[in-house]
Structure 1
Amino acid sequence: MHRFLLTWLCLAISPLLLAGNGMQSGLSEAARREGTLLVHATIDREQVAPLLQAFQQRYPFIRVQYQELNSADIYRRALGNNAASGDVLWSSAMDLQIKLVNDGYALRYSSPQKDALPDWASWRDEVYGTTFEPVVFAYHSQRVAHMPRTHTDLRRMLRAQPGQLRVATYDVEASGAGYLFFSQDSRHNAEFWDLAAALGRNVRFQEGNSLTLLRRLQQGEADIAYNVLGPYAVSFTRHQPQVRWVLPQDYALVVTRLMLIHKAARHTAAAKLWTDFVLSRDGQHVLSQGSGLPPIREDLPRQLGHIDLKRNAANLRPIQVGSGLLVYLDTAKKSLFLKRWRDQLPAATRPTH
């Protein structure tokens, strides 16, 4: 009886495996003819180099042209809807990526790897989360002896020491990721605008990415960096012991870098192979171990420095992938939000753009 069941199961599964292998073989042949893949991404090229190398070893017939761009530039280029838009768009500005999908710029592709992702990490088979990155507080340990562990305590400390602590944070108006972090903060924190007022009175620098914020700490120009991507903080502080970071204990936003294939992609087969590889166990392992980016897959461990993220999941707030991200991109709502943030800033530090 057991032998019969085993034989039946093998006969039932074999066509599915053959179909899957056939699909991958067909993609490989088409990608071989294409020969090229253009990736537009916000991840530093040096950080993602191990993934590029692993993909190249797997598919030596595909020449990857990797262009490191900020999230706003990726979005603007995508609107051109032509070859310059890129084949694969990979960005931490989750709301802008979702807007591209919603406005019809993404190619639908049902990756065979999608079942290993959390339910919240993909949408309509058109966009996929690839990483699991908590947003943290970073600080200069010689200037801040006791760094608050919650948003409320941070607000209280800034209020108690007005003008004494120099804050660096994202340029909320110019950075898509920065606007995403702040707008999501306002959803999860009932006291957000009180915190924004305290931050605003102490802001000295507004930057476009986490590395620049961390360098402000390293150079002694800032004391606290607010809303820093955790993996960057972990990597940076290994070599800069005076710079430290904490995972907020009340809540920590979790960003996933969203990846989509542009509808106008010229190398769609290569783009599908890339998508599958990045989401595969092998690709995710390389991202985790080689690039320091915690994996999105449920079947792999997730670490941020010494912290086991699966054991500390209760206070993590993953930003849901889907149409909910469009709320704060409404023109009127975004203008009101930015004006309210601008009003918190001293005149000397208000953006001129």
Structure 2
Amino acid sequence: MRVISSTDTLLFAPFIEGFVAENPLISVEYLVTGSADIDRRVRANPSAFDVIISSAMDLQLKLANDGFALRLEDVEVPPWTQWHHSLFAFTSEPATIVINRSAFEGRALPETRQDLIEAMRERPDMFRGKIGTYDVRESGLGYLFATQDSRVSETYWRLMEIMGGLRVKLYCCSGDMISDLVDGKIHVAYNVLGSYASAQAEGQDALEVILPSDFQTTMMRTVMVSNETQSVQAAQQFLRYLVSDRPNDSTTQSPLPLLVAEDTVSEQETIGLNPALLTFLDSLKRKKFISAWENAVIQ
């Protein structure tokens, strides 16, 4: 069974190991790439993969909407965690701000985006070239987080302008941002995926993971079976395994926070699996958003 995914192998390995332990006759080939690249690859060759996993909910919803996902009527999940029985959520993860405490020594840690703006304005020399965030032109998840942030508050654009003026470093993915934070190459990483932040911050006393209190952007990682899968039964079994609560029973736990059937996470707290996700994928709207983002960030 061939799986293409945007989740690092280290974080996802426990799921594969747990599934294979239950299904020893099924082998799993796991390919990791960026969320935008997943969309391109699946559209170009939908029969190349059996299971498609991504953190970019909007791109996944469009794939499903465009007929690339197999419809599975009998998968039992909360209605708000699935789309037309073809796309299913199995984790719920917030975007976070991760900081190196040494850059805030003797000072209050930022609790909101406005706090972060004020900290950077007060000490530009401390943060110049030391801030990281996604390059939304390349990262599917980065684009999703950015568009959702912009819908909630104008603070996002002020934050991007400040970061741009301080020569923000742009990244493809959360893992690279966290690695540079650990190595001291940057002091602040903005909109880092919560699971990556928690996994790499563990044991790193210098790092602090912040859930901004002004508003949180929380995504659901989603999975679908390719409509042209050549391993129909195995792929369906794997999807059902992911959306069940069985991975929580694995000996080796993954830091990915699973959604399960009785999950109490409110649908109001997460980006919804609904047609609104497709708004910023419209070519004209995307072009306009990217242009505004470049004007703010590329200075």
C-alpha separation in 1, matches of 2:69 and 2:298? 40
Structure 2 counterpart of 1:162: 124
Quote the residue 2:89 is aligned against. Answer: 129
Task: Determine helix, strand or coil for the equivalent of 2:259.
Answer: coil
- 8 A Cα contact 1:133 1:231, kept in partner: yes
Cα distance in 1 between the residues matched to 2:263 and 2:279: 32
Question: For residue 91 of structure 2, what is the amino acid of its counterpart?
Answer: T
Which of 284, 292, 316 is matched with 2:255 structurally?
A: 292
Structure ID, larger Rg: 1
| Deviation of the 1:163 alpha carbon | 4.7
Give the C-alpha shift of residue 339 in structure 1. Answer: 1.0
Q: TM-score, normalised by structure 1?
A: 0.79
Judged with a 3 Å threshold, the aligned counterparts in structure 2 of structure 1 residues 238 and 93 are, in CA distance, closer, same or farther, namely same
Contact 1:285 1:295 in 2 (8 A): no
1:217-255 per-residue CA deviation (whole Å, 9 max, x = no partner) reads 111111110001111111111132112111111211111
Question: Of residues 116, 129, 149 in structure 2, which corresponds to 1:185?
Answer: 149
- CA distance, structure 1, for counterparts of residue 46 and residue 165 of structure 2: 44
Query: Partner of 2:112 in structure 1?
Result: 150
Contact 2:245–2:261 (8 Å) recurs in 1: no
Higher relative contact order (CA 8 A, sep 6+): 2
Aligned AA for 2:76? Q
Aligned to 1:104: 67
- Equivalent residue for 2:164? 200
Within-5 A mapping of 1:1-353? 37-84=1-48, 86-114=49-77, 117=78, 119-145=79-105, 146-165=108-127, 166-286=130-250, 290-297=253-260, 299=262, 317-347=269-299
Cα separation, 1, equivalents of 2:61 and 2:225: 12
Distance in 2 (CA, whole Å) between partners of 1:214 and 1:82 is 32
Change (3 A) 1:285 1:129: farther
C-alpha distance in 2 between matches for 1:300 and 1:106: 24
* Aligned-partner SS, 1:291: coil
Query: Following TM superposition, by how much is the alpha carbon of 1:196 offset from its aligned partner in structure 2, in angstroms?
Result: 1.8
Size of the aligned set, in residue pairs, is: 295
Evaluate the alpha carbon distance shift between residue 222 and residue 83 of structure 1 in structure 2; reply closer, same or farther with a 3 A threshold. same
Specify the code of the residue in structure 2 equivalent to 1:230.
Answer: G
What is the CA distance between 1:201 and its match in structure 2? Answer: 1.7
- TM-score under structure 2 length normalisation: 0.92
Cα displacement (A) at 1:345: 2.5
* CA distance in 2 between partners of 1:342 and 1:216 (Å): 23
CA distance in 2, matches of 1:139, 1:219: 12
Q: Given that residues 284 and 297 in structure 1 are in contact (C-alpha distance below 8 angstroms), is that contact kept between their aligned partners in structure 2?
A: no
Q: Deviations over 1:73-104 (max 9, x none)?
A: 211111124432x1110000111101101111
**Any conservation in 1 of the 2:244–2:261 contact (CA below 8 Å)?**
no
Q: CA deviation at 1:284?
A: 4.5
Relative distance call for 1:60 and 1:298 in structure 2 (3 A) is: closer
Distance 2:192 2:104 in 1: 17
How far apart, in 1, do the equivalents of 2:119 and 2:232 lie?
Answer: 51
The Cα of 1:285 is off from its aligned counterpart by 4.5
In 1, distance between residues paired with 2:262 and 2:250? 14
DSSP 3-state at the match of 2:204? coil
3-state DSSP class of the match of 1:153? helix
| CA shift in 2, pair 1:298/1:188, >3 Å | farther
Question: RMSD over aligned Cα, in angstroms?
Answer: 2.0
2:174 and 2:196 in contact (8 A); partners too = yes
AA of the residue aligned to 2:293: W
Task: Please tell me whether the aligned partners of residues 140 and 217 of structure 1 are also in contact (alpha carbons under 8 angstroms).
Answer: yes
Identity of aligned residues (%): 31
For residues 42-66 of structure 1, give each alpha carbon's deviation from its aligned partner in whole angstroms, at most 9, with x where no partner exists.
Answer: 1111221111111111111111111
Aligned residue for 1:290, secondary structure, equals coil
